[in-house]
Structure 1
Amino acid sequence: MKGLGSQIAYWDGVGATKTFTHPLSLDRLAGVSADARILDYGCGYGRLMAELSDHGFSDLSGVDLSPTLVERGRRLRPDLSFAVLESPPDLMYASASFDVVLLFAVLTCVPEEAAQRALIAELGRVLVPGGLLYVSDLLLQDDERNRGRYAAHARQFGAPYGVFATDDGAVCRHHDIAELRGLLSDFDTVDERRIEVATMNGHRSRAVQLLARKA
């Protein structure tokens, strides 16, 4: 699907060298059993799975479209379960396979609205009723640098405001909070927190974390 697999060259190249930084707040998972089935969609090199494993969670699965990132993860943590997404967003798991799904800094890498909706629908499919979707992603920034690149990309490509190209070749998207809430409209949002993060290219940016429950 365009928007989910179309940047594989970036993530298998320069993207595979990046350090990812969105923080995992374990207090959000305080009511989740240590043996809960947890999926990290867009797991990269397994940073979040490693943190969860080190805190006692035992049933962890990670998927990513980049074979290079997955191989990096397998080298770092051979005890964890990684798989390469062959046809994103489609997952190889049966419906209602997971109690929790993590989606950290993935929507920013999926600029197209239809692809984002398809991804959220697929994650809803594999969640059990009452399961949790934990989203961390980037908001629209209001500094001159970001406003300029949003506007330039919109003029050149007719893309939604907030889509831009990084200096090293990725096409990303920053979101209005209403856009993210709309994507999760089929879920019940139980927590929303604003945070600041370092991006993969080292800039400080405003972000949000949402915890949503499948009805």
Structure 2
Amino acid sequence: MNSANRADESDETGGHLAYWNGPGATKTFTHPVHHGWLASVARDARILDYGCGYGRVTAELTDLGFDDVSGVDPSPALVERGRRSRPDLRLAVLPSPPALPHPAASLDLVLLFAVLTCVPDEAAQRALIAELVRVLAPGGLLYISDMTLQEDARDQERYIAHARRFGTPYGVFATDDGALCRHHDLAGLRALLGDLDLLAERRIDVLTMNGHRSRGVQLLARKG
């Protein structure tokens, strides 16, 4: 199946797990963890790395001394990669995203690193954030790192082409190797967090999984 067909299938079904069990399972993820935002988080805090991939962020937090960190991801291939690399990490496959097995108000910190970019559909994004808010305890933190709209001609042409073909929100596009992704309007990302208190925001530059330098943003929000 060529990349265009994979993108078509993903757009119709709302998911593209086949990509993350195939080409996506070999990628390197680079969004940085801003340690300053974790300074007030207790070392025994209950932490979840949602969409953990191969556990890069899970491992970083564990190595920082946080002792109750776990990661979940829909891709068995990525989770298995993480288990091989770091058998000490608590990584699990999430069978029916965004549904989590955690009770309500049972987590102190959830990290969502480069996950919304993999969930192009707006309704699916809202459902994901609602599930994360459900599992956060009062005062708990949600730390998001994701991609903003790019201004270069290459990306803008991809946004326009995909919107014309599928009617998706501006910013959705298919990569050359078959991933369906989304870059975000910053106001839209903030609006997703309407049920939370936005505490901090920082702009970042990241190397994408396909080696392109791009702009991103990180947001830290708290559940009241």
TM score, norm. by length of structure 1: 0.97
Alignment partner, residue 128 of structure 1: 137
Task: For 1:214 and 1:7, locate their aligned partners in 2 and report how far apart those are by CA, in whole Å.
Answer: 30
Contact 2:15–2:119 (Cα < 8 Å) also in 1: no
Q: Which runs of 4+ in 1 moved over 2 A?
A: 2-5
Change (3 A) 1:73 1:67: same
Q: Tell me, which stretches of 5 or more residues in structure 2 are unaligned? A: 1-9
**Amino acid of the residue matched to residue 27 of structure 2?**
K
Task: For 2:82 and 2:94, locate their aligned partners in 1 and report how far apart those are by CA, in whole Å.
Answer: 14
Contact 1:150–1:161 (Cα < 8 Å) also in 2: yes
Task: For 1:49 and 1:114, locate their aligned partners in 2 and report how far apart those are by CA, in whole Å.
Answer: 27
1:162-208 deviations in whole A, cap 9, x for unaligned? 00000000110000000000000110000000111010001011100
Alignment partner, residue 6 of structure 2: none
Contact 2:14–2:121 (Cα < 8 Å) also in 1: no
RMSD, aligned CA: 1.2
Q: Tell me, which stretches of 5 or more residues in structure 1 are unaligned? A: none
Task: For 1:138 and 1:15, locate their aligned partners in 2 and report how far apart those are by CA, in whole Å.
Answer: 17
Out of 76, 89, 102, the residue aligned to residue 80 of structure 1 is 89
TM score, norm. by length of structure 2: 0.94
Alignment partner, residue 187 of structure 1: 196
1:21-41 deviations in whole A, cap 9, x for unaligned? 000011100000111010000
Alignment partner, residue 178 of structure 1: 187
Out of 101, 111, 118, the residue aligned to residue 92 of structure 1 is 101
Out of 164, 170, 180, the residue aligned to residue 173 of structure 2 is 164
Contact 2:109–2:140 (Cα < 8 Å) also in 1: yes
1:32 aligns with 2:41: yes
Shift of 1:5: 6.8
Count of residues paired in the alignment? 214
Out of 152, 160, 163, the residue aligned to residue 161 of structure 2 is 152
